[in-house]
Amino acid sequence: MSTPIFLSAKEAATELGVQPATLYAYVSRGLISSVAGPGKKRRYDAADVRRLKGRRQVEDHTGARPLTGDPVLETELTLISEVGPVYRGRLAKDLAETSTLESVATLLWASPDDPFAGNIPKSPPPMPEGLAPLDRLMMALAAWPLQDRAAFTLAPRLLQTKGAALLRYCVAALLDQQPVAVPIHTQIADAFNVSASAKNVIRAALVLCADHELNTSAFAARCAASTRAPLHAALLSGLGAFAGPRHGAAPDRAAAWLSEIQSETDIEQALADRLARGETLPGFGHSVYQDRDPRADCLLDILFRTEADNPFVARLPELTTAADGLFGLPPNIDFALAAIQRTYDLPKDAAKIIFCSARITGWIAHALEQYAAHEKIRPRAAYVGERPE
């Protein structure tokens, strides 16, 4: 075993390229360990310093330092593995073959009984004309206390049934319909007026998108829940983070360029043109999976099995092969959702509606788990700005 090397504060700060105060902040956050040195001075673990330096030097295409990678809390909900999400010990890709979103919700929420049994909320209030689905949902969630006098309860025995009611209520708001007792994939399929085979693909997509560990929207929901905000407010927090083009609206970006691919399109040339223009390829690559996104592979496989004779689906292998050859990236879940939207000629927001309907299940699970924790989430920042003399 090699002997640990320790640096002085000046050496460590110089190697990191920061002020001593920032070095001390890293130590307080547990990123760098220190030991007592000569006199009253401390010494800093060189391995920790160099590991942190390496992380800080990794930059994305915008030049910003990544804010991903460090575990910040414990969860029993979802494990991100090389074969995809694992929901409380169950592989999401296995559940996607036959399970419904409701059964996955019951699993993630650790509910001993069926929280959806007879749990049909009132309809969302009338909304202004022209609202997009996510905006309609934001207004509906803000209005939730008008129909539920126990909207602010944190009683554990009530929260799971409240979650079931809220999930149905939210899906109804997204679809601009009334809540119903049928499975959510059935309600979505009926709203889009699609075939039974399309309904099954939608069901699988909902299961695969239900949760993805501590993604941005789940973390936002947990932060709100840690302050003991009510469940509908925690969902609003998650929804606010989800609404961005780098998260929940990402399938829209994939669908936009995918709509340009027609039966006569030279796919390799079309993608080469994007590459030459310096354009990215939304729907390909993932910040968590170093290789392939198993959720996309699973969902695209189900789509291939279901719609093998569809002309667009038949060209998907050509498209993904060209993307890999030109951009070096495999498809992610955003592309798979956009492919479903294109295959079945669904409305322009359909992929996002499916994604959001599924992910509400995860937000509720994270909020319920956070309510059971005593701590309020309060991360610290490493200050690197000006300081008073």
pLDDT value for 218: 97
> Is the model's pLDDT at 2 over the cut of 70?
no
| pLDDT tens, residue by residue, 181-197 | 999 999 999 999 999 99
For range 265-271, the mean pLDDT: 95
Q: What percent of the chain is modeled with pLDDT above 90?
A: 74
For residue range 154-211, list pLDDT tens digits in order: 999 899 999 999 999 999 999 999 999 999 999 999 999 999 999 999 999 999 999 9
Q: What is the pLDDT of residues 52-82, one digit of tens each?
A: 877 655 444 444 444 455 667 889 999 999 8
What confidence score (pLDDT) does residue 62 get?
A: 40
Q: What is the pLDDT of residues 312-358, one digit of tens each?
A: 999 999 999 999 999 999 999 999 999 999 999 999 999 999 999 99
pLDDT of residue 26: 86
User: Which residue ranges make up each domain of the chain?
Assistant: 6-57, 78-389
Of 183 and 28, which is predicted with more confidence? 183
Q: Output the pLDDT for position 103.
A: 98
Is 185 labeled as catalytic in the residue annotation?
A: no
Mean pLDDT confidence for 254-274: 93
- Is residue 266 among the annotated active site residues? no
45, 48, 297, 334: the active-site residue: 334
For residues 283 and 335, what is the distance between their CA atoms, to the nearest angstrom?
Answer: 4
Q: What is the pLDDT of residue 55?
A: 61
Q: What is the rounded average pLDDT for all residues in the chain? A: 91
- Residue 98 DSSP label: T
Tell me what pLDDT residue 303 has: 97
Distance CA 166, CA 360 (A): 9
pLDDT at residue number 71: 66
Q: How confident is the model at residue 20 (pLDDT cuts 50, 70, 90)?
A: confident
Rounded CA gap, 103 and 348, in Å? 28
Mean pLDDT of 37-45: 85
CB contact at 8 A, 189 and 202: yes
Largest Cα–Cα separation, the chain: 77
Can 6-57 and 78-389 be said to share one CATH topology? no
Choice among 185, 212, 232, 286 that is catalytic:
286
Strand pairing category for 84-87 and 6-7: unpaired
Cα–Cα distance list, 24 to 18, 55, 321 (Å): 10, 18, 48
Using CA atoms in the order 50, 54, 55, 61, what is the torsion angle rounded to 10 degrees? Answer: 160
As a whole number of Å, the CA-based R_g of the chain is 24
Using alpha carbons, select from 329, 300, 315, 342 the residue that is nearest to residue 205. Answer: 300
Strands ordered across the beta sheet of 90-91: 78-81, 84-87, 90-91
Q: Is the pLDDT of residue 94 over 90?
A: yes
Domain made up of 78-389: CATH architecture: Orthogonal Bundle (1.10)
Alpha-helical (H) ranges within the chain are 9-16, 20-28, 46-57, 92-95, 101-108, 133-142, 156-175, 184-192, 196-208, 216-226, 231-242, 250-258, 267-276, 294-306, 311-327, 333-343, 350-371
Q: Which string of b and e fits 242-252 if b means at least 16 CB within 10 Å?
A: bbeeebbbbbb
Give 279-288 pLDDT, tens digit per residue: 999 999 998 8
| 6-57: CATH number | 1.10.1660.10
